[in-house]
């Protein structure tokens, strides 16, 4: 039977035009790509609020419910960011300046010199022919402080130095969210109708992507917010310097499933032990176990359920790679890229692997008889 599609020049001409127009549309929207992605993520977080408001029939229309949801997003996101960005910028710069000017190094050196715990640790490792010098510890801590402080300072300065652009981008994001809340389902339906895949595979693709993206981004985002706020409050209670900065750092580190906020709280506990604040050090260790364990094993499962899980190593490398490639937005982009791959891999295993294997078996020529 003749293959109609392969010999129809009109069809191929149309497909070529459609692909060119799609590429031009992508080129046109590329400057707003980050705004659209962040808007889609925020829409997923606040959609339950919109759904609850829109169920008030006869009183709450869809546009008004979407407007109220956007007003809530403005209060929850814009106001805290605007208030914190200046404080964060100053605290991050102070941390970087202290590390660069060797002020932090001098404090560490004075802490390490003659400390009985440090001597015991050195003696313990010396039994395994491992030498740990105070200079190496000081260099490691100061270099880490310089990198972290400079990174956060540059991110905060980028917002503070161009606040007008930040306001415009935030308004554009709210505009996208407003229409996504109202017409998001119709947009997804339109995209699904364009797909040449069978309907059930399109539905599975969309649903799995929502599940994984929700589990990784929404679950980790809220968990990071909780750990950052509580951790910063504890640092303020203990009167540590720059509690807001350390809260932000813990909120970011909370995305990492293997290390997490332990990268801050465990060294803090060690510092308290070295300064003879034994009770405070014990409290910090217990606080770390309760906060991290409670969020990971109680809060997250209740929030996103057990339907979808991404391997912790994939989450770890997706966030680290995202931060390296895209900066702060890599926390979102990295997991989204891995989510797309895992979703397509699941569709392949469910629908296409057996089909390709059966096709290969049909086309394999029989072996010659000897």
Q: pLDDT tens for residues 327-352?
A: 777 877 888 888 778 878 877 887 77
Determine, yes or no, domain membership for 280.
yes
The larger pLDDT score, comparing residue 128 to residue 166, is at 166
> Cα separation of 49 and 46, whole Å?
5
Distance in angstroms between the alpha carbons of the first and the last residue of the chain: 37
Determine, yes or no, domain membership for 140.
no
Is the pLDDT reported for residue 164 higher than 90?
no
Question: Could you tell me the residue range of the domain that residue 341 belongs to?
Answer: 197-349
**Average pLDDT of every residue of the chain:** 76
Is the pLDDT reported for residue 21 higher than 60?
yes
pLDDT at site 105: 52
Whole-model pTM: value is 0.68
Determine, yes or no, domain membership for 325.
yes
Mean pLDDT of all residues in 221-230? 86
The pair of structure tokens assigned to 110 is 């004075």
Determine, yes or no, domain membership for 318.
yes
pLDDT at site 5: 53
Determine, yes or no, domain membership for 160.
no
Determine, yes or no, domain membership for 310.
yes
The larger pLDDT score, comparing residue 350 to residue 117, is at 350
Determine, yes or no, domain membership for 131.
no
Name the pLDDT band for 369 (thresholds 50, 70, 90). very low
Q: 347 Cβ partners below 8 Å, 6+ apart?
A: 201, 204, 205, 208
The pair of structure tokens assigned to 28 is 């046109």
> Cα separation of 182 and 161, whole Å?
34
Percentage helix, strand, coil for the chain under 3-state DSSP, each rounded to 5: 85, 0, 15
CA atoms within 13 A on the CB side of 85: 18
> Cα separation of 182 and 53, whole Å?
12
> Could you tell me if 45 and 52 are in contact, meaning their C-beta atoms sit under 8 angstroms apart?
no
Give how many domains the chain has, as a whole number. Answer: 1
Is the pLDDT reported for residue 123 higher than 80?
no
pLDDT at site 95: 61
Determine, yes or no, domain membership for 336.
yes
């Amino acid at each position: 039977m003749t293959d109609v599609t392969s010999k129809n020049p009109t069809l191929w001409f149309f497909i070529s035009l459609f692909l060119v127009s799609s590429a031009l549309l992508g080129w046109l929207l590329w400057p707003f790509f980050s705004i659209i992605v962040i808007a889609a993520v925020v829409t997923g977080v606040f959609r339950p609020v919109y759904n609850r408001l829109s169920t008030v029939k006869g009183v709450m229309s869809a546009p008004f419910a979407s407007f109220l949801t956007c007003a809530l997003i403005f209060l929850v996101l814009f106001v805290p960011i605007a208030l914190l960005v200046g404080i964060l910028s100053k605290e991050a710069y102070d941390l970087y300046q202290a590390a660069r000017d060797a002020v932090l190094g001098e404090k560490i050196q004075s802490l390490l010199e003659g400390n009985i715990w440090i001597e015991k640790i050195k003696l313990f490792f010396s039994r395994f022919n491992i030498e740990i010098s105070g200079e190496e510890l000081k260099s490691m801590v100061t270099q880490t402080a310089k990198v972290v402080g400079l990174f956060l300072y540059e991110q905060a300065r980028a917002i503070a130095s161009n606040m007008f652009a930040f306001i415009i981008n935030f308004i554009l994001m709210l505009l996208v969210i407003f229409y996504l809340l109202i017409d998001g389902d119709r947009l997804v339906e339109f995209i699904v109708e364009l797909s040449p895949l069978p309907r059930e595979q399109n539905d599975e693709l969309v649903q799995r992507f929502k599940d994984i993206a929700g589990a990784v981004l929404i679950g980790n985002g809220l968990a990071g917010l909780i750990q950052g706020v509580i951790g910063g409050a504890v640092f303020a209670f203990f009167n540590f310097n720059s509690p807001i900065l350390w809260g932000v750092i813990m909120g970011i580190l909370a995305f990492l499933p293997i290390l997490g906020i332990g990268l801050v709280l465990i060294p803090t506990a060690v510092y308290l032990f070295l300064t003879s604040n034994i009770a405070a050090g014990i409290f910090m260790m217990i606080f770390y176990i309760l906060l991290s364990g409670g969020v990971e094993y109680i809060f997250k499962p209740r929030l996103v359920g057990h339907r979808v899980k991404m391997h912790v190593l994939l989450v770890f490398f997706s966030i680290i790679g995202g931060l390296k490639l895209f900066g702060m937005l890599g926390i979102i982009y990295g997991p989204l890229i891995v989510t797309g791959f895992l979703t397509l891999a699941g569709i392949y295993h469910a629908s296409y692997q057996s089909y390709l294997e059966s096709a290969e078996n049909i086309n394999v020529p029989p072996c010659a008889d000897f």
